[in-house]
Structure 1
Amino acid sequence: MAGKSKVELAEFLTHQYLCESLTIKEVETLLDYTELVQFRKNETIADIGEVGEALYFVVKGEVALYYDDGGQESEVGRMTEGELMGEMSFFDRKPRSARMRAKSDDTRVLLLSRAKYKRIRVEHPYIAVNLLEHAVISLDHLFRRVSNDVAGFSQYIHGGGIKR
C-alpha cells in the first residue's frame, strides 16, 4: 500500500465511523479488499456520466464535487478525510451526476471495486453490513445538507434574508 503501511491505515480506520464497530482483524480484512490510490491536485477521481464501479473512502486530503451545467462547472461540495464517496452511483448503477476531483496534492483514497464488494458481501457479511450502514448515513448527511441549502436559499429568495 503505497506511502502508508497497512498497520497505519488500519490505525486510521479504527478511528473512523466506518469501522468503529469492527475489530482490528476485521479492519485489516477490509483493507485486503481495497486499494490505496493517490491523486495529484485537480486530478479527476471519477467523472460525470460514468456508472460507479467503486466506492471511495477519503484517507488523506480533500475532494471537491463538481456539477457541469452546459460547460459551466460549479463546485457543489467537498469531501474530507473519513468520508465515503461515490455511493449513489455505485448502488443504483446510474451515471454519476457529479465529478470528483482531488483538491490537494497527495490526496489518497481507499478504493473498493464492485468485484471486491461482491466478494466481501459473501465472505465477510458483517463487514459488508457496516459498509452499507455507512453508505446510508453518508447519503442521509448529503440529503440533509442539500435540504438545508435549498431551505435557506428559498427563505432568502422569498424575502426573509439570510438568518444570522
Structure 2
Amino acid sequence: MITDNDRNQLTEFLGKLTDTDIFTQREINAFLDFCDLMCVKKGEIIADIGEVGESLYFLLEGEAVLIVGSTVNEMVVGQIPAGEMLGEMSFFDRKPRNVRLRASKPTRLLRLPRGMYNRMRLEYPVITVLLLEYAIISLDNLYRRTSTDMALLNQYVYSIGK
C-alpha cells in the first residue's frame, strides 16, 4: 500500500522523470492510484527468465542487474540504475523474458500490474501515452548502455592481439 509519505516521494520522483508541463500533479496522483509499492531485498529476483511480463516496474531506489544463464552459472549482462523502467519489453510484446532481473541492493519499486495498466488506458489515455514515451526512452537508455559496453568489449578483444 502506498502511504501519503510514499505518495509525496513518488510524486517528486515521477515529476523529475516527466515533462511536468504535460504530466500534471493531478495526473501523477492518478497514475499512482494504479500502482503499488514493492520493497525487494538484495539478491531477490524481481522477474525471471521464461516469464511473460505481467507488470511494469519503476526503479525508485536501489539497483537491479540483468542476468543470463542458469542460477548455477549466472552472468551479469547489464545494470539498471534508479530512475529507470523495468520489464517493459516482455510486458509490451508478451514474449517470455530472456534475462533474470535481480535486485543488487535493497530496492524499492513502483509496480503497475497489467490489469491496472489496461484500466488506465481506458480512463487516462494521456497518461498511457506519456508512459509509452517513457518506455521508449527507457529502452533507448538500455540499448545505448549495452551498445557502449559491447563496443568497449570488442575494442578490448580485438586490440589484445595487436
- TM-score, length-scaled by structure 2: 0.88
Shift of 1:99: 1.0
Structure 2 letter corresponding to 1:13 = L
Aligned residues of 2:36 and 2:112 also touching (Cα < 8 A): yes
Q: Deviations over 1:47-87 (max 9, x none)?
A: 11100001000111111111116841011122122110001
Q: Does the CA-based 8 Å contact 1:18-1:130 persist in structure 2?
A: no
Determine the structure 1 residue equivalent to 2:137.
Answer: 137
Q: 1:44 to 1:3 in 2, by over 3 A?
A: farther
CA distance in structure 1 between the partners assigned to 2:128 and 2:73 by the alignment = 38
- Secondary structure of the corresponding residue to residue 127 of structure 1: helix
CA displacement at 1:112 relative to structure 2:
0.5
**Secondary structure at 2:97's aligned position in 1?**
coil
Shift of 1:18: 7.6
Partner of 1:159: 159
Aligned residue in 1 for 2:38: 37
**Matched AA of 1:128:** T
Give how far 1:11 is off: 2.0
Distance 2:60 2:135 in 1: 16
Any idea what SS the aligned residue of 1:155 has? Answer: helix
Query: In structure 1, the residue corresponding to 2:22 is in which secondary structure?
Result: coil
Extract unaligned runs of 5+ from structure 2. Answer: none
| 8 A Cα contact 2:78 2:146, kept in partner | no
Q: Which amino acid is the alignment partner of residue 123 of structure 1? A: E
Structure 2 partner of 1:111:
111
CA contact (8 A) 1:58 1:80 kept: yes
- More off after superposition, 84-93 vs 16-25: 16-25
Q: Is 2:84 the counterpart of 1:88?
A: no
- The percentage of counterpart residues that share the same residue type is 46
Cα distance in 1, alignment partners of residues 137 and 92 from structure 2: 14
Structure 1 moving runs of 4+ over 3 Å: 17-21
